[in-house]
Chains A and B, each alone.
Chain A
Amino acid sequence: MAITPITGTGGGFDAGNFADELQCKFLSWRATLEGREFNTTGFGDLGWVTGQIINGRVSGDAVGVLTAENEPVPDAVADGGDFGFAEMFVEDVQLTVATGKTWTFDANISAVEIERAEEGPASSVYRIRFASVGAVVQAWA
């Protein structure tokens, strides 16, 4: 079966006011749409499990290069003061699979991971983890 694989240029990751402020250069991302299952197993199911799915959300992470020009988290998050809820909430996170093919949603930033590489062999790594808050919109033009 012939298909048109998604590869090469056209991908992207945007975390609204969070990543914009960082201007990190992202390389790749992955995301999982998943739902919770509730159990409906009962009489008449002949010993087999049954259930239904609801409460969906997208969670995932994006990986980039830690740069000298930009801070790994916005000042509002790591300012030595209160670590607040509002600063870790982002509107309009956009995962771009290819041009015109996106998932868009509001999200909470659940973690920012930085890794300092050994001298010489590699670039230092930046990883941001997110989880959607509310509905997810899929565009596949």
Chain B
Amino acid sequence: MAITPIAGTGGGFTAPGFAVGTAIKFLSFRGALEGREFNTTGFGDGGWVTGAVITGRVTGEALGILDSVTPPVPAAVMNATFGVATMAVTSMVLTFATGKNWTFNALITSVEIERAEEGAASSVYRIRFVSNGPVAQTW
């Protein structure tokens, strides 16, 4: 069966107000849509487990190159009060290819930076996120 794999150019990752403000150049991302399962196993199931899934969310991370021009996190996050609002992002977009994306509000759960050895490689930037509410898919 012939298919058209998603590869090459056209991908993208944006986290308005957070990573875009830092002008990080992203290389790749991954996202997982998952739901919690609640157990409905009971009489009449013949001894087999049954369940249903609800309360969905997308979790994932994006990987980039640490840029010397802009800081890895917005200044509003790195002040004396580490607050709720500063780690929230509206309209994060995971773009698989042109016109094919997932869009959702998100929470930034962590920002990881790695200072490489001298000469060995570029320093790395990794942002981890979880969706905060509904996820819209465009294809």
**Which residues on A are within 8 Å of B, measured CB to CB?**
1, 3-9, 11, 13, 27-35, 37, 41, 45-56, 95-98, 101, 103, 135-138, 140
Report Cα–Cα, A136/B82, bound state, in Å. Answer: 9
Asked whether A28 and B132 contact (CB < 8 A) given A6-B122, A97-B123, the answer is no
Selected contact of A51 from candidates B107, B117, B122, CB within 8 Å: B107
Output the least CB separation between B12 and chain A (Å).
11
Whether B137 sits at the interface, judged by CB under 8 Å, is: no
Whether B131 sits at the interface, judged by CB under 8 Å, is: yes
Instruction: Report B108-125 residues with CB < 8 Å from chain A CB.
Output: 108-119, 121-124
- For the complex with contacts A48-B55, A138-B72, 12 further pairs of A-B residues with Cβ separation under 8 Å are A5-B65, A13-B115, A27-B117, A29-B114, A29-B115, A33-B111, A34-B109, A41-B55, A46-B133, A47-B55, A52-B84, A135-B82
Report Cα–Cα, A5/B56, bound state, in Å. Answer: 37
Q: Is the interface of A mostly helix, strand, loop or mixed?
A: strand
CB pair A32 B69 closer than 8 Å:
no
The residues of A that contact B113 with a CB separation of less than 8 Å are 30-32, 97
Selected contact of B118 from candidates A9, A33, A56, A140, CB within 8 Å: A9
CB pair B107 A52 closer than 8 Å:
yes
Contact mask B54-90 → A, CB, 8 Å, 1/0? Answer: 1111000000011111111101011110111001100
CB pair B134 A48 closer than 8 Å:
yes
CB pair A33 B73 closer than 8 Å:
yes
Which chain B residue shows the least CB distance to A138? B78
CB pair A53 B87 closer than 8 Å:
yes
CB pair B121 A3 closer than 8 Å:
no
Query: Total A-B pairs in contact (CB under 8 Å)?
Result: 141
Selected contact of A50 from candidates B65, B121, B123, B132, CB within 8 Å: B132
Selected contact of B135 from candidates A27, A48, A56, A140, CB within 8 Å: A48
CB pair A101 B78 closer than 8 Å:
no
Report Cα–Cα, A46/B68, bound state, in Å. Answer: 41
Report Cα–Cα, A41/B83, bound state, in Å. Answer: 19
Asked whether A32 and B84 contact (CB < 8 A) given A7-B123, A49-B57, the answer is no
CB pair A46 B134 closer than 8 Å:
yes
Would you mind naming 9 contact pairs between A and B with Cβ atoms under 8 Å apart?
Answer: A3-B25, A7-B122, A30-B115, A34-B110, A41-B55, A48-B135, A53-B84, A54-B84, A55-B82
Which chain B residue shows the least CB distance to A30? B114
CB pair A51 B111 closer than 8 Å:
no
Report Cα–Cα, A31/B126, bound state, in Å. Answer: 10
Whether B130 sits at the interface, judged by CB under 8 Å, is: yes
The residues of A that contact B135 with a CB separation of less than 8 Å are 48
